[in-house]
Structure 1
Amino acid sequence: MTNAAPALRLPRAFWTYWAGVTLTALGDAAVYVALPFLALATHPAEGAGAVGGVVLAGSLPRFLAPLLGGLADRLAPRGLLAFSAGLRALAVAAAGLLATSGTLPLAALLALAFLNGLLSTLAYATGSALVPRLVAPSLLARANSLNSGALMGAPLLGYGLGGLLIHLLGAGGTLLVSAPLILGLALATLALPALAGAGAGERVQPLADLLEGLCVIRRSPLLLALLGMSFALNAAMNVMNVRAPLHMTALGRGAPDYAAFEMLISGGVLAGIALVTPLAARWSLDALIGGGRWVLVASALGFVLTPVPVWWGAAVVFGLGLGLLEVAATTRSQQIVPDGLRGRVIGALMGVNALGLTLGAALAARPLGTPPLMLGLSGALALLALTWPLALRANRRTAPPVGHVRPAE
């Protein structure tokens, strides 16, 4: 009886990691807001081209996720997390100093955006492989809910903080204030257990790591189904990122309506994340994943209609399905993939998702009306939702399942 209560509590090491992630996510959000304004303020002649370059530079590192996932498998997580957060904080502080002195060239700003995206991707892959090693399997869904809540909830405050700081201190001053927050994860690693890399001793081979990650995914019907839905979701989200501001400008009040749209999506995401733990007590993660897919289909159909209030309602539903699916799918994939391969599989997933983001941007740039475009995406999401029961049946026929772990002796 004495061991039952502690088994229900998340360990101190997880809470330490969670606190560091929360602080760093807060600083990251302020930096995210500051970089476009910094590009406009320091290089007004380039205008939208400078902002677009910064966004592109920050997105490109996703294609390097397979390499970073291999590092996350092989190297000690404490060192990787401390390195990624520490170097990011140093780079952000240096850029802030240059910006406040008026000597920040565009090339340095692009380098900062790329480095920030690269190290953020490394930290995400490392944390995704680390969390299952910090908590008991029965607490994994709860830990992932809290972790996703920090990664998606802290930015809500961070965006507001960034806007306030830009108003008071300028974009350069905002970077200087954000740097100590980003350092939070590096400081938190000092209290983490000194774990070796799960795949320590193996040589990093980027192409082989990508192929190995894809091979693990290919052997698992569930991972294949999760990959397909994740790819389509990233494409849909980039379509919305491009079309929503245009839609709100054409049919609404522009920026205020778009800000409300983004806040409603974020609120829905947090609600979906919060629902995972109570729902997982009654239904399996597989059932939650199946239900979350249909929630996303319903929300995508809402974007086929044109009134702005309908888009707001669809944004809440979309966020709800996204938050639910994010935690449930992350937890399920961590259960499927064995320790020592999680980083490579996560890296392969992120690399494929980068292709989805690219496809979404290309689709949104086409001269196609938003209603037919969203109707086509809704149909694609519905077809992918129908594949989940098929994947479950195929997985039951797989023996042994990918990543099967024998009970502890």
Structure 2
Amino acid sequence: MTTVPASADLPRAFWLYWSGLSFTALGDAIVYVALPFLALATATHPGSAEVVGLVVLAGSLPRFLGPLLGGLADRSSPRRLLALSAGLRGLAVLGVGLWGLLGQLPLAPLLILAFLNGLLSTLAYATGSALVPRLVSPGALSRANSLGSGALMGAPLVGYGLGGGLIHGLGAPGALLVGVPLILALCAATLGLPPLRAAQAGGRPAPLADLREGLAVIRRSPLLLALLGLSLGLNLALNVMNTRAPLQMATQGRGAADYAIFEMLISGGVLLGIALVTPLAARWSLDTLIGLGRWVLVAGTLGFLDAGVAGWWLGAAVFGVGLGLLEVASTTRAQHLTAPAVRGRVIGALLAVNAVGLSLGAGLAALPLPTSTLMWGLTALLLGLLPLWPAALRRHGRAQRLSASSSA
């Protein structure tokens, strides 16, 4: 593969979408840092993992609705869906933030906010993933995905630190209110997007049929199947870390301040991984980069075997590099393997299956198990998934050779 020339290949519409996405990701990061500490304030026992686990689980459950949301992304105007998702999220965060300023927040509104935020974020992700290949040329897709992933995972590098500082100065409810205008930025950005029609005209989303169709496309592709398995394990690992990291920072360090650094290091590692994709892709294929990213993820989990804050920080940075490599390389590879008319449904099916991993991760982290035991288990799981990708590449190569010989 060759390096794609810079910005000339990316149209103004993409940059508008990217700018709105960046500001919204910044606001999301503030909300992400604030929610666990709002939840901990509702716990009857200090340091309880159950309430954080419930909030993380509530934010993960909407991914089970991926087939419905992916069907909407295929059959609706992307501009309308992006504006709707950002607008409703901003209103929900505003309501909970004002409630927290006026009085003690119970757990229920936090769970509702986490669910709505997860639902609308999933809709925006499915819509954006199907939209970007329609905005840019095929040769610029890898660069556009790198920039999009940088917005979604890199903007939080500032947002997590900002969130930690806002929680310290204004309290968690005040931090939520600061995030509202940032989340709403995507609404403004959509005004400049072209009025693209739905990728598939006519029909209404049918979640079960859309799920079957998306899974059928994945089932026919060994590479998509392997990416699904790798992503399933990765999402499980992420939710275990998402639940246990605030508790680890609270018991071993300075709480919100150290947790913000932890998330900043993950985001910094992701930025580095994303930045490495373009130069590495000039020498190696996307398939090779996906293989490399798997090993970097395993190396990152080794840092979480250390109970100290420094070990978790180191693990977060390394894990983030692997996450950044995999995010861009696997997203671009999946888009190349999927027809435009069914991209939303394939993404929705992937999100629905990944929700199983997210739910299992949140559930495991809420169990009264030592964090060290969970981290050893995650390392073993990711090691066990390593052979999936080489096996898929061999199957894909055989299928291509058979197809070439039959057509000849």
TM interval, shorter chain, is 0.7 to 0.9
Query: Is the deviation greater in 152-161 or in 129-138?
Result: 152-161
Structure 1 counterpart of 2:180: 179
Structure 1 counterpart of 2:13: 13
- Whether the 8 Å contact between 1:8 and 1:139 is mirrored in structure 2 is no
- AA in 2 matched with 1:28: D
Cα RMSD (Å):
3.0
Distance 2:372 2:36 in 1: 29
Distance 1:140 1:53 in 2: 37
Distance 2:341 2:156 in 1: 30
Structure 1 counterpart of 2:322: 321
1:229 paired with 2:226, answer no
Per-residue deviation, 1:278: 1.3
Distance 1:209 1:351 in 2: 11
- AA in 2 matched with 1:274: A
Alpha carbons of 1:208 and 1:26: their partners in 2 closer, same or farther (altered >3 Å)? Answer: same
TM-score normalised according to structure 2 size: 0.86
- AA in 1 matched with 2:87: G
Secondary structure, aligned partner of 1:340:
helix
Per-residue deviation, 1:11: 0.8
Per-residue deviation, 1:350: 1.2
Distance 1:314 1:278 in 2: 24
- AA in 2 matched with 1:387: L
Cα offsets for 1:55-86 (capped at 9, x unmatched): 33322212212211111111110010011111
- Whether the 8 Å contact between 2:60 and 2:358 is mirrored in structure 1 is no
**Aligned residue runs from structure 1 range 128-277, under 5 A:** 128-244=129-245, 252-253=252-253, 255=255, 258-277=259-278
Secondary structure, aligned partner of 1:201:
coil
Structure 1 counterpart of 2:406: none
Per-residue deviation, 1:137: 0.9
- Whether the 8 Å contact between 1:220 and 1:401 is mirrored in structure 2 is no
Cα offsets for 1:26-63 (capped at 9, x unmatched): 1122222333444566x576975665544333222122
Percent identity at matched positions?
A: 68
Cα offsets for 1:341-371 (capped at 9, x unmatched): 1111111111111111222234445566555
1:358 paired with 2:354, answer no
Alpha carbons of 1:284 and 1:263: their partners in 2 closer, same or farther (altered >3 Å)? Answer: same
Per-residue deviation, 1:254: 5.6
- AA in 2 matched with 1:21: L
Distance 2:92 2:246 in 1: 31
- Whether the 8 Å contact between 1:22 and 1:154 is mirrored in structure 2 is yes
**Aligned residue runs from structure 1 range 390-401, under 5 A:** 390-398=391-399
Secondary structure, aligned partner of 1:203:
coil
Secondary structure, aligned partner of 1:397:
helix
**Aligned residue runs from structure 1 range 66-81, under 5 A:** 66-81=67-82
Structure 1 counterpart of 2:390: 389
Secondary structure, aligned partner of 2:9:
coil
1:33 paired with 2:33, answer yes
Secondary structure, aligned partner of 2:284:
coil
Distance 2:371 2:51 in 1: 27
Secondary structure, aligned partner of 1:147:
helix
Alpha carbons of 1:39 and 1:391: their partners in 2 closer, same or farther (altered >3 Å)? Answer: closer
Distance 1:296 1:99 in 2: 37
- AA in 2 matched with 1:206: P
Question: How many aligned positions are there?
Answer: 397
Structure 1 counterpart of 2:298: 297
Distance 1:172 1:207 in 2: 38
Structure 1 counterpart of 2:24: 24
- Whether the 8 Å contact between 2:56 and 2:243 is mirrored in structure 1 is no
Per-residue deviation, 1:8: 4.4
- AA in 2 matched with 1:9: D
Alpha carbons of 1:39 and 1:367: their partners in 2 closer, same or farther (altered >3 Å)? Answer: closer
- AA in 2 matched with 1:194: P
- Whether the 8 Å contact between 2:13 and 2:194 is mirrored in structure 1 is yes
- AA in 1 matched with 2:19: A
Distance 2:366 2:104 in 1: 34
1:349 paired with 2:385, answer no
List alignment gaps of at least 5 residues for structure 1: 403-409
Structure 1 counterpart of 2:92: 91
- Whether the 8 Å contact between 1:395 and 1:401 is mirrored in structure 2 is no
- Whether the 8 Å contact between 1:30 and 1:159 is mirrored in structure 2 is yes
- AA in 2 matched with 1:24: T
TM-score normalised according to structure 1 size: 0.86
Distance 2:6 2:315 in 1: 41
Cα offsets for 1:256-309 (capped at 9, x unmatched): 655544332221111101111111111111111111112222333444456654
Per-residue deviation, 1:119: 0.8
Query: Is the deviation greater in 361-370 or in 313-322?
Result: 361-370
Distance 2:147 2:382 in 1: 27
- Whether the 8 Å contact between 1:69 and 1:344 is mirrored in structure 2 is yes
Structure 2 counterpart of 1:336: 337
Alpha carbons of 1:354 and 1:19: their partners in 2 closer, same or farther (altered >3 Å)? Answer: same
- AA in 2 matched with 1:55: V
Per-residue deviation, 1:12: 0.7
Alpha carbons of 1:46 and 1:121: their partners in 2 closer, same or farther (altered >3 Å)? Answer: farther
